[in-house]
């Protein structure tokens, strides 16, 4: 079998060493999301496409990481076919439910329109019936229900009511059940956290904190005008000490724009001081991006953000806050909008494929694929705007066809591409710095040039 | 034998791997083997991390 070096890997520019004297370079294999530590000669050979100088053991390792592939293999076609088949897969059914369209915050950069009121009783029963029908399908092995907003905790009673049946029926059907919630965190408290985790089986909380208290409370003000930072932080910090919650993940996200960028380092220091250095905590930083609203006055340029982000990530590493240096898993399904067995049901009962569509007035009006009140709704949602995403990549309608990160990124956000805003994740711009961090994490340091 | 790269491998627990994977290590060059041993030991010692999901919801909330 003849082989070639594949197209989906990144080699570190730098060589790293330690007191034992070893010298290594890093190879990030994006088709398998694996990070390999190789001797410099192997890195050089990879860059030169020379397989003849590799040891049999190293060749086997590189083959397994899909850095070395059969000579005739069309890797782009393989990656896209793998993704298409994951997007078509119906063994895992995902629902994203918005129990309400209202939010108790009025964030400075938000493009949502918040209206009071949640699912009506009739709609709620129809949502319940629709999810349960999917759970009972012979093809369903896993059921995931994610609670999403506006602010889903405004509809806590609905979450509790529906989850009870979802968990029970999934159990009866032998279907694995999981759940996540995307919340601003303000309405969480000790009591409802326990219910969410133990009864509703929420296993991951996505919570946004935009800086230390004086910045977060201005960037993400409550509609009442009060601050929220300390209430959110105290509740989650207490939960981290709870012995039953050690497998529950708390993922903090920080949206960065021109207004809060100078507070990010202080935020990181504060979270470390407060003891958020736990393995079930995760931090991520994201650039504020247009969200069907004009954020051009506050948005940071992608490359500027990526440069500053490296300093923040280095600080997190020094202080022991967990974050992702480079993705550990490949992105088989880009996002919910490309997955056939995934749908979002809004607070007004409309069904969408894309999580942004119900939150923006124009698309809330025009992009619905159905309504929960319809008697003729198919078991899986009708096709949406992004179901042909992998064909669009193959046709070169974004940069993704030629991108080394396609297997871990999947094109990030088809909607953003359709709107002409490339949504590339920051690691596309700062991968070399992230490889430095991955090396430094295990005590390696760059070899000084010269 | 002192300095045998296999010592590092044993210290990192790689000698307990399934046969097929162990064979891969046995076909590495001595320097590669030394690197694998040192790196694996450090990775084993590093704090485990949960995977942050990239782009689960591309939302600002
Ligand atoms: S298309 Fe973009 S906004 Fe819509 S669900 Fe996918 S990632 Fe989210
Ligand atoms: S979105 Fe950007 S980083 Fe992701 S695959 Fe496309 S071009 Fe690459």
ipTM: 0.76
Which of B27, B46, B52 is nearest residue A56 as measured by Cβ atoms?
A: B27
Range of the domain at A119: 91-319
Q: Which of A319, A336, A352 is the last residue of a domain?
A: A319
Residues sharing a CB contact under 8 Å with residue A252, sequence separation 6 or more, in sequence order? A207, A208, A209, A271, A276, A281, A282, A283, A284
Chain-chain contact of B54 with A327 (C-beta, under 8 angstroms): yes
Q: Would you tell me how many other CB atoms lie within 10 Å of the CB of residue A67? A: 26
Residues A134, A135, A138, A139, CA torsion sign: positive
Shared domain for A244 and A139, answered yes or no, is yes
pLDDT of residue A360: 84
User: Ligand 1 atom 5: the closest Cα is on which residue?
Assistant: A354
pLDDT of residue B58: 53
Shared domain for A184 and A48, answered yes or no, is no
User: Ligand 1 atom 8: the closest Cα is on which residue?
Assistant: B58
Does any domain span residue A448?
A: no
Ligand 1 atom with the smallest distance to the CA of A414 is 1
Q: Which residues of A touch B46 (CB under 8 A)?
A: 441-442
pLDDT at B2 over 50: no
Shared domain for A135 and A255, answered yes or no, is yes
Q: How many CA atoms lie within 13 A of A363 on its CB side?
A: 22
Q: Which of A319, A353, A377 is the last residue of a domain?
A: A319
pLDDT at B40 over 90: no
Nearest-angstrom CA–CA distance, A60 and A66: 10
User: Ligand 1 atom 3: the closest Cα is on which residue?
Assistant: A356
List Cα–Cα distances, A426 to A246, A297, A399, A412, A431, in angstroms: 29, 20, 15, 11, 8
Does any domain span residue A400?
A: no
Interface test with B, best of A39, A346, A428 (most B CBs within 10 A): A39
Shared domain for A192 and A54, answered yes or no, is no
Shared domain for A144 and A207, answered yes or no, is yes
List Cα–Cα distances, A322 to A159, A190, A263, B29, in angstroms: 29, 24, 19, 34
- What spacing in Å lies between the alpha carbon of A220 and ligand 1's midpoint? 22
A284 touches chain B (CB under 8 A): yes
pLDDT band at B61 (very low <50, low <70, confident <90, very high): very low
Shared domain for A200 and A313, answered yes or no, is yes
Does any domain span residue A401?
A: no
Residues sharing a CB contact under 8 Å with residue A46, sequence separation 6 or more, in sequence order? A5, A9, A11, A27, A38, A62, A67
A351 touches chain B (CB under 8 A): no
pTM of the model: 0.92
A344 in Cβ contact with A98 (< 8 Å): yes
CA A8 to chain centre: 21
A305 in Cβ contact with A256 (< 8 Å): yes
* Domain regions of chain B by residue span: 6-46
Residues paired with residue A351 on neighbouring β-strands, in sequence order: A345, A370
pLDDT at B60 over 70: no
In this structure, what token pair is assigned to residue A304?
């500027």
Does any domain span residue A238?
A: yes
pLDDT at B20 over 90: no
Buried b (16+ CB within 10 A) or exposed e, A412-443: bbbbbbeeeeebbbbbbbbbebbbbbbbbebe
Q: Which of A319, A347, A366 is the last residue of a domain?
A: A319
For every residue of A264-288, DSSP letters joined together read HHHHHHHHHHTT---TTEEEEEEE-
Shared domain for A107 and A254, answered yes or no, is yes
Tell me A220's DSSP state.
S
Shared domain for A195 and A288, answered yes or no, is yes
Q: Say yes or no: CB of residue A392 within 6 Å of ligand 1.
A: no
Does any domain span residue A135?
A: yes
CATH code: domain of residue A236: 3.20.20.70
The label of the residue with tokens 């208290």 reads: A213
Shared domain for A27 and A130, answered yes or no, is no
Q: Which residues of B touch A413 (CB under 8 A)?
A: 55, 58
Chain-chain contact of B58 with A58 (C-beta, under 8 angstroms): no
Shared domain for A69 and A95, answered yes or no, is no
Interface test with B, best of A287, A328, A346 (most B CBs within 10 A): A328
Residue stretches of chain A with pLDDT short of 50: none
Chain-chain contact of B38 with A18 (C-beta, under 8 angstroms): yes
A54 in Cβ contact with A45 (< 8 Å): yes
Q: Where does ligand 2 bind, in terms of residues with CB under 6 Å?
A: A 398-400, 403, 405-406, 409, 411-412, 423-425, 428
Shared domain for A285 and A202, answered yes or no, is yes
Shared domain for A50 and A133, answered yes or no, is no
pLDDT of residue B36: 87
Chain-chain contact of A335 with B55 (C-beta, under 8 angstroms): yes
Question: ∠B14-A22-B2 over CA atoms, to 5°?
Answer: 60
pLDDT band at B3 (very low <50, low <70, confident <90, very high): low
Nearest-angstrom CA–CA distance, B4 and B8: 8
């Amino acid at each position: 079998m003849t082989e070639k070096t594949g197209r989906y890997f990144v080699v570190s520019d730098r060589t790293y060493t330690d007191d034992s004297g070893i010298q290594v370079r890093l190879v990030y294999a994006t088709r398998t999301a694996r990070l390999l530590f190789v001797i410099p000669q192997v890195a050089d050979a990879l860059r030169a496409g020379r397989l003849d100088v590799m040891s049999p053991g190293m060749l086997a390792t590189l083959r397994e990481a899909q850095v070395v592939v059969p000579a005739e293999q069309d890797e782009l076609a393989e990656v896209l076919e793998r993704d298409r088949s994951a997007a078509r897969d119906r063994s895992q059914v995902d629902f994203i439910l918005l129990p309400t369209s209202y939010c108790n915050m009025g964030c400075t950069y938000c493009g949502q329109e918040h209206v009071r009121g949640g699912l009506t009783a009739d709609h709620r029963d129809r949502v319940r019936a629709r999810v349960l029908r999917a759970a009972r399908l012979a093809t369903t092995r896993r059921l995931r229900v994610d609670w999403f907003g506006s602010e889903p905790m405004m509809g806590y009673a609905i979450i509790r009511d529906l989850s009870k049946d979802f968990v029970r029926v999934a159990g009866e059907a032998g279907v694995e059940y999981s759940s996540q919630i995307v919340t601003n965190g303000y309405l969480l408290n000790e009591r409802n956290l326990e219910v969410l985790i133990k009864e509703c089986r929420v296993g991951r909380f996505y919570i946004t904190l935009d800086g230390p208290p004086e910045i977060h409370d201005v960037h993400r003000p409550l509609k009442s005008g009060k601050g929220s930072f300390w209430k959110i932080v105290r509740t989650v910090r207490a939960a981290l000490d709870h012995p039953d919650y050690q497998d529950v993940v708390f993922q903090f996200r920080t949206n960065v724009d021109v207004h809060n960028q100078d507070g990010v380092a202080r935020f990181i220091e504060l979270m470390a001081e407060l003891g958020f250095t736990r393995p079930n905590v995760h931090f991520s930083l994201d650039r504020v991006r247009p969200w069907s609203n004009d954020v051009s006055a506050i948005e940071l340029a992608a490359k500027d953000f990526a440069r500053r982000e490296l300093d923040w990530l280095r600080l997190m590493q020094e202080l022991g806050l967990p974050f992702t240096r480079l993705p550990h898993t490949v992105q088989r399904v880009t996002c919910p909008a490309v997955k056939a067995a995934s749908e979002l049901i809004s607070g007004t009962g409309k069904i969408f494929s894309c999580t942004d569509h119900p939150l923006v007035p124009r698309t809330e009006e025009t992009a619905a694929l159905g309504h929960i009140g319809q008697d003729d709704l198919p078991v899986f949602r009708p096709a949406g705007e992004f179901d042909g995403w992998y064909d669009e990549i193959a046709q070169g309608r974004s940069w993704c066809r030629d991108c080394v990160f396609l297997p871990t990124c999947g094109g990030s956000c088809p909607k953003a591409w359709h709107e002409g805003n490339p949504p590339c994740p920051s690691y596309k711009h700062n991968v070399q710095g992230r490889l430095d961090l991955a090396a430094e994490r295990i005590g390696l340091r760059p070899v000084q040039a010269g | 034998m002192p300095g045998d790269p296999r010592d590092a491998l044993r210290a990192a627990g790689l000698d307990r791997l399934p046969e097929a994977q162990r064979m891969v290590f046995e076909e590495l060059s001595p320097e590669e083997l030394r690197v694998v041993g040192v790196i694996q030991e450090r990775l084993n010692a590093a704090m485990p991390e949960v995977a942050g999901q990239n782009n689960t919801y591309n939302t600002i909330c």
